[in-house]
Amino acid sequence: MNTSTRLAALCLLAAPLGSALAQDSKVQISGFLDLGMYRDFSGTAQLGTIQRSHVTFSGEEDLGGGLKTTFRLSHRLELDSGQSEGSGQKPFWHGESTVGLKGGWGHVRMGRALSALWAHDWKFDPWGHMNRVASSAWYQWFYYVPTDRVSNNGAPEFGRTSNGIFYDSPTLGGFTLHLSGSPERTQGPGGGKPYAVSLEYAQGPLAGMLAFDRNGSGDRASFVAAKYRWGDTTLMTSYDDSRRAQNQGRSRVMSAGATHKLDVQTTLKAGVGRQKLNDDTHLFYSLGADYALSKRTILYANLGHQRPEHKASKTSFGVGMSHAF
């Protein structure tokens, strides 16, 4: 039995044990499984994960006085092959591995998790920043700002801060503050300490976000976004300005998107992204439709079209199925 299998088995065995030891303890197993057939932007036909798949163990224990202990362990996987995401190049608990305390003052976690920017930007993309066919955010946002250039066996980590501390404030008047950072310096060029901050607003039909992220190598991203729900239609827009350290590159992205609930089961999606990458302009257009077989199971079809400057246009399309549990 390899290490990954042992860890998963240990979590399964520990869940009922933890419930027995702590009367007010809650442990949950949840996840999101996705698989589809698609033609990627290079023209290659594939069967694989179009959106991200994960299995998550999470829980909390009531300590009394309004204080709770929390934990979260999330494993990302490729459903078509059963391998860990990244073919083993990423940590087993790639999604998240944190333990924390929660009270009326907010929620503090320690470990590995999405930074304060990456944890919430997905709310302003029709595809949730996780669709390799249709999400312009996937290809264009934060182009020069991984959270860590070297955290995955020398490869950039887009989204997660290791050795991190994370804080989520209570919501006051519709506003919620998120902070993240690490006391450890990133290895490699720059060698600094990463940090990020985001301020969210959500009340009634209006939502917005203002965020800043600096990784340990000195790359910086500024992000502002808004969305408005009008009946069955939600409109959203965002602007991202990411800059690589020492003026080695700059990317500015304007995005707009919309979702429309056609009926109880069908949701239509559309989006456009315009990226100014250094001196070149790249456009991204996308369309999609979701059909809900239930609250947890969705069939979908998506199309994405890239129009990079000075290069030939490329199109990707695919159909798939996702199930949340």
CATH assignment at residue 243: 2.40.160.10
> Model confidence over 242-284: pLDDT tens digits?
999 999 999 999 999 999 999 999 999 999 999 999 999 999 9
Domain containing 38 equals 3-324
Rounded to two decimals, what is the model's pTM? 0.89
Contacts 24+ apart (CB under 8 A), 231-237: 232/260, 232/261, 232/262, 233/258, 233/259, 233/260, 233/261, 234/258, 234/259, 234/260, 236/124, 236/125, 236/126, 237/124
The number of domains in the chain is: 1
DSSP 117-172: TTTTGGGGSTTTT--TTT-HHHHHTTTT--SEEEEETTEEESSEEEEEEEEEPPPB
> Model confidence over 51-91: pLDDT tens digits?
999 999 999 999 999 999 999 999 999 999 999 998 778 99
> Model confidence over 115-169: pLDDT tens digits?
999 999 999 999 999 999 999 999 999 999 999 998 888 888 999 999 999 999 9
Mean pLDDT over the full length of the chain: 92
